[in-house]
């Protein structure tokens, strides 16, 4: 008798963690014919997955560490994902200013090799070497949609205007923007549409193996209810808490663990007028990006700081603020100051602990580890990049297929997420179509809705004929109609869920408007669930 022939089994796979890896695996698994349930102790994307630099990128600097496979995989995924989610992801151009006296991290394999064969450079990078790296970056992933690298003479172009006049030359290349927290939510939503059960604000209290079956005790903070779910297999996608789940929930004796690295970002007032990003290189070997953000702001990040205690909420320290504004000020003609900061955010990257010498050098690659020593299988997910989440999910299911019978073939490449069923070149025409159908919208409002919901914007607005049909206006184009959609379809439970993770409207709403929104949700949440 097969040990799984148990009528009391609830699901094939139980996923712990509602970040991008957990939701990506849940979506892939349900599409391969497995039954799936997922639990997230807070909101979806409430930790690492909403605190990224908001980029689908190959990781240009990883070439310095000779991580060619990782970069190639990320570059291939970049365009696959761009096609699947043209509403929440779009191409961006990056400007890399160059000066002959710029120095780089002396501890990378590339630096060490140059020190042997070209000691006279003393940590400097010749322009030809950077251009060669960008050539690899352009070609490793079989680029189809994105533009290749070009050179800029900064003295006579708009990209040079904000910069110190010592920067006369730059390289310009392509990467992609991604609305990270919306990516997570849409993966969860698609998984649920296909049959998965998604639980938010539901904590896994314990997981016990009994006769080869996992018995997971769950507690919901929404209704204070406790229940038990029986599963054939656990996927531990707890992100920063993956090690805590191993030790304290599953009680597995394992030597594998994570290295917690805090990445902090600044949102400042708009620092320049054009819509391109800057890639800045520091003498400490670190890099930062400055990115046009939500039309009226600039995003600066990130840092790499050891974070030793996961129980302490990651926050951008004064030291990190000073580091980022000083870093940017080395490049910008007008100094960036702490007074320019509008908001900060921080997240903890759960990097696989490979005992690297520094946080910056720690691997960004992911590790998937299956353990069956307790009598029932658990897949532990360590590390990963948001760009490679789909490939991580695919590889996770390949491992799962060796344990669970009748797992279907891979399917997610090119399959759009909800609202993403249109061609990327049709984005503007879709915005115009929305404007034509709902003529009470303005251009910015329609653009925001399409870039959040894609074709689902039409479902959200439904039969509305005028602005009154949208119900209460909470400010910044957020209406009762949209809030109801987010509660019913996208797992939102609080004002913060809506204004910081389903959108970034928190940058535009007043404190009083947030209070009104929060009160409305509290009054209506029970009836809308």
What residues form DSSP beta bridges with 198? 38
Per-residue pLDDT tens for 409-463? 999 998 999 999 999 999 999 999 999 999 999 999 999 999 999 999 999 999 9
Q: What is the mean pLDDT of residues 189-199?
A: 98
CATH of domain 424-528: 1.10.8.870
- Select from 40, 39, 15 the least CA-distant residue to 25: 15
Per-residue pLDDT tens for 387-409? 999 999 999 999 999 999 889 99
Q: From the CB of residue 155, how many other CB atoms can be counted at a distance below 10 Å? A: 10
- Looking at 401-491, list the stretches that DSSP marks H as alpha helix, in order from N- to C-terminal side: 427-437, 443-453, 456-461, 480-489
Is 11-48+181-257+364-400's fold the same as 258-352's?
Answer: no
For residue 106, pLDDT beyond 70: no
Confidence of residue 54 (pLDDT cuts 50, 70, 90): very high
Strand ranges in 99-201 using DSSP code E only, listed in sequence order: 150-153, 169-178, 197-199
Confidence of residue 114 (pLDDT cuts 50, 70, 90): confident
Residue ranges covered by each domain of the chain: 11-48+181-257+364-400, 84-178, 258-352, 424-528
261: left (phi > 0), else alpha (psi -120 to 50), else beta?
Answer: beta
* Radius of gyration of the chain from its Cα atoms, rounded to whole angstroms: 24
What is the rounded CA–CA span in Å between residue 152 and residue 170?
A: 5
CATH of domain 84-178: 3.30.9.10
Q: What is the mean pLDDT of residues 380-387?
A: 92
> What predicted TM-score, i.e. pTM, was given to this entire model?
0.94
- Select from 45, 43, 65 the least CA-distant residue to 54: 45
What fold characterizes domain 11-48+181-257+364-400? FAD/NAD(P)-binding domain (3.50.50)
- Looking at 382-479, list the stretches that DSSP marks H as alpha helix, in order from N- to C-terminal side: 389-400, 427-437, 443-453, 456-461
Least-confidence region, from 34-38, 56-60, 195-199, 515-519: 56-60
Q: What was the pLDDT predicted at 5?
A: 53
Q: What's the CATH superfamily of 258-352? A: D-Amino Acid Oxidase, subunit A, domain 2 (3.30.9.10)
For residue 259, pLDDT beyond 50: yes
């Amino acid at each position: 008798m097969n040990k799984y022939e148990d009528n009391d089994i609830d699901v094939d796979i139980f996923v712990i963690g509602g970040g991008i890896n957990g939701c990506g695996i849940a979506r892939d698994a349900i599409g391969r014919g497995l039954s799936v349930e997922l639990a997230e102790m807070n909101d979806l994307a409430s930790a690492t997955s909403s605190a990224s630099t908001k980029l689908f990128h190959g990781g240009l600097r990883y070439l310095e560490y000779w991580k060619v496979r990782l970069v190639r995989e990320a570059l291939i995924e970049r365009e696959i994902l761009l096609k699947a989610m043209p509403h929440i992801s779009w191409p961006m151009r990056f400007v890399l200013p160059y000066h002959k006296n710029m120095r780089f991290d002396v501890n990378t394999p590339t630096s060490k090799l140059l020190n042997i064969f070209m000691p006279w450079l003393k940590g400097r990078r010749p322009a030809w070497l950077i251009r060669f790296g960008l050539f690899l970056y352009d070609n490793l992933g079989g680029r189809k949609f994105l533009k290749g690298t070009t050179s800029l003479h900064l003295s006579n172009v708009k990209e040079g205007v904000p910069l110190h006049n010592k920067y006369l030359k730059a390289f310009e290349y392509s990467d992609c923007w991604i609305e990270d927290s919306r990516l997570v939510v849409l993966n969860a939503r698609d998984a649920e549409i296909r049959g998965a059960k998604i639980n938010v604000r539901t904590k896994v209290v314990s997981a016990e193996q009994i006769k080869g079956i996992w018995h997971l005790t769950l507690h919901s903070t929404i209704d204070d209810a406790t229940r038990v779910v029986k599963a054939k297999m656990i996927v531990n996608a707890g992100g920063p808490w993956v090690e805590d789940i191993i030790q304290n929930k599953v009680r597995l004796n394992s030597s594998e663990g994570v290295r917690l690295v805090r990445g902090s970002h600044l949102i400042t007032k708009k620092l320049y007028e054009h819509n391109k990003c800057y890639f800045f290189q520091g003498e400490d070997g670190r890099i930062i990006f400055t990115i046009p953000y939500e039309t009226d702001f600039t995003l600066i990040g990130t840092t790499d700081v050891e974070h030793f205690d996961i129980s302490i909420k990651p926050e951008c320290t004064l030291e990190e603020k000073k580091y980022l504004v000083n870093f940017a000020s080395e490049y910008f003609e007008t100094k960036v100051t702490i007074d320019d900061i509008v908001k900060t955010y921080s997240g903890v990257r759960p990097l696989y602990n490979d005992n690297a010498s520094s946080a910056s050098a720690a691997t960004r690659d992911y590790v998937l580890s299956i353990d069956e020593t307790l009598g029932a299988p658990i897949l532990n997910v360590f590390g990963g990049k948001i760009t490679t989440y789909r490939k991580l999910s695919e590889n996770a299911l390949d491992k799962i297929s060796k344990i669970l019978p009748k797992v279907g073939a891979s399917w997610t490449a090119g399959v759009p997420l909800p609202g993403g069923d249109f061609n990327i070149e049709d984005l503007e025409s879709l915005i115009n179509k929305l404007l034509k159908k709902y003529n009470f919208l303005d251009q910015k409002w329609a653009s925001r809705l399409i870039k959040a919901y894609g074709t689902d914007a039409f479902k959200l607005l439904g039969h509305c004929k005028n602005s009154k049909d949208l119900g209460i206006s909470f400010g910044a184009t957020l209406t009762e109609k949209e809030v109801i959609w987010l509660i019913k379809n996208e797992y939102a439970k609080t004002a913060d869920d809506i204004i910081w993770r389903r959108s970034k409207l928190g940058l535009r709403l007043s404190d009083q408007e947030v209070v009104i929104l929060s009160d409305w949700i509290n009054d209506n949440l029970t009836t809308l669930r």
